[in-house]
Amino acid sequence: MAIFDRLKSKKETVKKNGKETLAVKTPAEKGKKAVKKTKKETAPQYSDATGSSVFQLVKPRVTEKANLLAQNGQYVFEITPRASKIEIKKAIERLYKVKVASVNVLKTPAKKVRVGRREGLKKTVRKAIVKLKKGEKIEILAV
């Protein structure tokens, strides 16, 4: 059956360094052009010598209360569950290029929610309230 012959992979011999090797090409690979592989681009490094990472921050919290705090130089961020105050401070200073005066961390527990007859839980969120030194400011846009 000719239809099934097209789906079968074709075997070809390829010479590399004087040795013949068996190369198997599927019909999908047959029509593709050979792409020259280049060096992999490395992702930017977001950690410093101490191993602190900006990935300790999940996202800024944009709420009414957070906007009121921002007027006083305090900004609210969601953070990862294992982030420490020192790591958060270094991450904020590195990411936003500002000086941090203090960091307060709080954890809001999961809350029961109900939609019709179904019950569930809101997720537990860990937040950091970051107070900046006088004259420092972060521009946070609502997403």
Kindly report, residue by residue over 63-97, the tens digit of the pLDDT: 999 999 999 999 999 999 999 999 999 999 998 99
Opening angle at CA 60, ends 49 and 72, nearest 5: 100
- Alpha carbons 84 and 141: distance in angstroms, whole number: 25
pLDDT of 11 above 80:
no
Q: How confident is the model at residue 58 (pLDDT cuts 50, 70, 90)?
A: confident
* pLDDT score for 42: 46
Q: By the 8 A CB rule, do 104 and 84 touch?
A: no
Percent above pLDDT 70 for the chain: 60
Q: By the 8 A CB rule, do 92 and 79 touch?
A: no
The backbone torsions φ and ψ at residue 127, rounded to the nearest 5 degrees and listed phi first, read -120, 155
User: Which fold, 54-132?
Assistant: Alpha-Beta Plaits (3.30.70)
Q: How confident is the model at residue 55 (pLDDT cuts 50, 70, 90)?
A: confident
Domain ranges of the chain: 54-132
